Structure 1
Amino acid sequence: MSENNSLERMLGVLNVFDEAHPEWTPEELQERLGYSRPTLYRYLKTLKETGLIVSVREAAYTLGPKVVEMDFLLRKADPLVVEGQPFLEDLAGRHPGTAFLSRWYRDRVLCVVSVRTSDEAVSSYPRGRPMPVGRGATSHGILAFLPRRQMIPLIDSRMDTFREIGFGADRDAVMARFRAIRRDGYVTARGEVTPGVVGTGAPVFDSSAAPVASLCLTMAERHADAIGLAKLGREVAETAARISERLSSRRLLDAAE
């Protein structure tokens, strides 16, 4: 077995930890991953020594303190957090709600930083908890702006969700909705993730053609309706564009160095 393949298999152990299954016994891991017992225990030993996992009750394993340490460093270094934080504070300071940035990660949408100025629209998806792909302004603010080759498989695999939220009965209908979102530059979703909450989202880019994240502002319906959905949409889109400019400039500067 090559060194790269062995590393991928060891990292595969970390990939099975999620919200539904935060603890695993060696027996469960062996059944899930199909690794031999000696190989699995070698991986567990290495991961434990680095602090990426720890043993807990009844010989089970969970993620370890190294993950917490890495998260602290990530908050200090992630350009999306560093550049986006002031814009979130400004946006949430002008409107009672929660402003947050969510990164497009593999096939997931993950909140990386947020600012809240109201307890009426508390997000159920804080930093680190994957959001539902295909539902809500956060997700649509990314999906609608993806290249076609990436967009179509995501639509096809989530058609039940799109039908449920009224996006249409087939792929063509969903793509028509996404074209309308691209024309507007933002998307509004009412109660798709949390009842009584309106989300307004827009894509965030760096110097690449596809979005790397989305900016979203969630508010209680009564506040959003009082301000006006179109006005909120324009503000969110303008703020997302300003963050995109900062990210693009930073990336080009790093490349020049």
Structure 2
Amino acid sequence: MAASNSLERVLSVLQVFSEDRLEWTPEEMMAELGYSRPTLYRYLKTLKDAGLLTSTPNAGFSLGPKIVEMDYLLRKSDALSLNGQPYIEDLAGRYPCTALLVRWYGKKILCVASECSTPDPLSSYPRGRPMPLARGAISRSIMAFLPRRQLLPMVKANLDELSAVGLGDTVEEILDSYRRVRKAGFATAQGEVTAGVTGFAAPIFDAGKSPIASICLTIASAELTPDREIAISRDIARAGAELSNDLSDRRNALDEDENDTMREREHP
């Protein structure tokens, strides 16, 4: 338990870095985290030696080069990005849009890959930048498919913002809105994340009952016609379903390989 707590305390140092605070001095970290100077400096040395932090004279600490190395490895190994890349390329080839793969983790949604077929990207959220949890088609396409026991606390915690975007004034009204998204198989939202932009998004599953990600298309609202809106809705729902099948097949194949290996060890 002590080792686990110590690891959590070390990782909490990394958690203070955000888009709003890219650099921290040790004094600022001590004030933020409540750690003593010897404890904090021990953690900083560990993280710096691992390349997860770097420091410059008179400028404090910032994230280190190991983060870049790990991002490179993630791009080469992430099944969602590797399997999903052809789908977002196809969507970007069909429409003047930005197509995105967005991963759900913890209580965040994060762009992991995108393709743009317009001169100026119509997304405010490039790879690595967390997106709003309670606004937009991406959020809706994920939250609508979460189990009720997981969804209900999130709705209650974000009730004001969910109400502000028109999903309903009460918890039950908002849950009804999510039920309609589940029935349709995709979500849409206009101008909730980026002004003048409409988003279409569908959930992505990975052999489980809860979504792990979303595939999304954002397009200038002025580019939409009724026929194009129908076509995009159809294509985004199909892309989400097909990519989910791809990931499910991959997971099942890996599980079968693992079972075969275990059987070989038990019965050589």
With the shorter chain as reference, the TM-score category is over 0.9
2:225, 2:109 → 1: CA distance? 26
Question: Corresponding residue for 2:217?
Answer: 217
Question: Corresponding residue for 1:43?
Answer: 43
With the length of structure 1 as denominator, give the TM-score of the two structures: 0.97
Question: Corresponding residue for 2:124?
Answer: 124
Give the conservation status (yes or no) of the 8 Å contact 1:121–1:218. no
Gaps of 5+ in 2: 258-268
Question: Corresponding residue for 1:103?
Answer: 103
Question: Corresponding residue for 2:14?
Answer: 14
Compute the displacement of 1:121 (Å).
4.8
- Aligned identity (percent) is 50
2:149, 2:230 → 1: CA distance? 30
1:219, 1:170 → 2: CA distance? 30
Question: Corresponding residue for 1:114?
Answer: 114
Matched letter for residue 254 of structure 2: D
Question: Corresponding residue for 2:208?
Answer: 208
Compute the displacement of 1:5 (Å).
1.5
Change over 3 Å in CA distance of 1:88–1:8 after alignment to 2: same
Matched letter for residue 135 of structure 2: R
Change over 3 Å in CA distance of 1:185–1:232 after alignment to 2: same
Give the conservation status (yes or no) of the 8 Å contact 1:162–1:168. yes
Gaps of 5+ in 1: none
Q: Secondary structure at the match of 2:224?
A: helix
Question: Corresponding residue for 1:240?
Answer: 240
Report the more deviating stretch, 139-148 or 220-229: 220-229
Q: Secondary structure at the match of 2:103?
A: strand
Deviations 1:219-245 (A, max 9, x none): 011222254323311210100111101
> What is the total number of aligned residue pairs between the two structures?
257
With the length of structure 2 as denominator, give the TM-score of the two structures: 0.93
Larger Rg: 2
Give the conservation status (yes or no) of the 8 Å contact 1:188–1:229. no
1:254, 1:224 → 2: CA distance? 41
Give the conservation status (yes or no) of the 8 Å contact 1:138–1:201. yes
Is residue 175 of structure 1 aligned with residue 175 of structure 2? yes
Give the conservation status (yes or no) of the 8 Å contact 2:122–2:197. no
